[in-house]
Structure 1
Amino acid sequence: MSTRPTVLFVCVHNAGRSQMAAGWLRHLAGDTVEVRSAGSEPADRINPVAVEAMREVGIDITANTPRKLDWDTAESSDVLITMGCGDVCPVFPGKRYLDWSLDDPAGQGIEAVRPIRDEIRRRVEQLITELGVTTA
């Protein structure tokens, strides 16, 4: 891993969990980590309830767009964190893989998405500690 690790968050639609995780990591770690997110079957837009939940904590993810998971992005990432994408994620020797089992915010109201958002923050904070980077 380089001195500036690259973290890729992957979920099916790249519209909720992975976007919230990327938002948290950018917010908490600043430019000490290169943050990426992608989906195996990306949606047309980010889940508006996920956007609202993140806005409540002062993080704006409205400019993000769901992206298709591609081989090169996965291969060039140091840490790959999957969130329900199943077997579609490529596996490369020497990479660190984590699978975060989290409820899917798709179709959920804000009351159900807030605890998902907060659990993602907890896991991102733990990841930052494990990466040994200085937070913003």
Structure 2
Amino acid sequence: MGQKPKVAFICVHNSCRSQIAEALGKYLASDVFESYSAGTETVPQINQDAVRLIKQLYGIDMEQTQYSKLLNELPPVDIVITMGCNVACPYLPCKHREDWGLDDPTGKSDKAFLEIIQSIKEKIDNLRNRIEHNALL
């Protein structure tokens, strides 16, 4: 297999779901694909609940390794995954695109965050399997 495919996780503000997906993508599947995240707008800091819980669960400090960025800061990607924004998701050229339909847990309880994190983890595992078995590209 040549280069690893690049996967972009996209949501409007690039502050919460897409950041969690980037962190878990790097943590769980960096041997299979490269993870990036971006949004159509940026925020000054990553969602603090997400930062705290990912640190607690996985020992990853997202503020050290990630920041909120715009689509035009991404390299060309192979796979685009939208998190389930209710807004029109921007178009990025890619070979495969899918929407994960995840609710934004911002402002909700830890329980809501933990459910989204778990959901993202399962979807990353599933994506990893599909890429490994050439079921996507």
Deviations 1:84-131 (A, max 9, x none): 163241143x62001011110211221210000000000000000011
> How many angstroms apart in 2 are the aligned matches of 1:131 and 1:22?
16
Q: 1:2 to 1:50 in 2, by over 3 A?
A: same
> 1:1-136, aligned counterparts within 5 Å?
2-58=2-58, 59-63=60-64, 64-70=66-72, 73=74, 76-83=76-83, 84=85, 86-92=87-93, 95-132=95-132
Contact persistence 1:82–1:100 (CA under 8 A): yes
Runs (5+) with no aligned partner, structure 1: none
Of the structure 1 ranges 22-31 and 81-90, higher mean CA displacement relative to structure 2 is found in 81-90
Q: Match for 1:90: what amino acid? A: Y
Runs (5+) with no aligned partner, structure 2: none
Q: Match for 2:100: what amino acid? A: W
Name the structure, 1 or 2, with higher relative contact order (CA <8 Å, separation 6+): 1
> How many angstroms apart in 1 are the aligned matches of 2:100 and 2:127?
11
Q: Match for 1:17: what amino acid? A: R
Deviations 1:55-110 (A, max 9, x none): 1222221221100112x737x10000011163241143x62001011110211221
Contact persistence 1:81–1:99 (CA under 8 A): yes
Deviations 1:33-59 (A, max 9, x none): 221100111111100001112112222
Identity of aligned residues (%): 33
- Tell me the SS of whatever aligns to 1:26: helix
Question: Normalising by the residue count of structure 1, what TM-score does the alignment of the two structures yield?
Answer: 0.85
- Measured on the aligned residues, the alpha-carbon RMSD in Å equals 2.1
Question: Normalising by the residue count of structure 2, what TM-score does the alignment of the two structures yield?
Answer: 0.85
> How many angstroms apart in 2 are the aligned matches of 1:31 and 1:42?
28
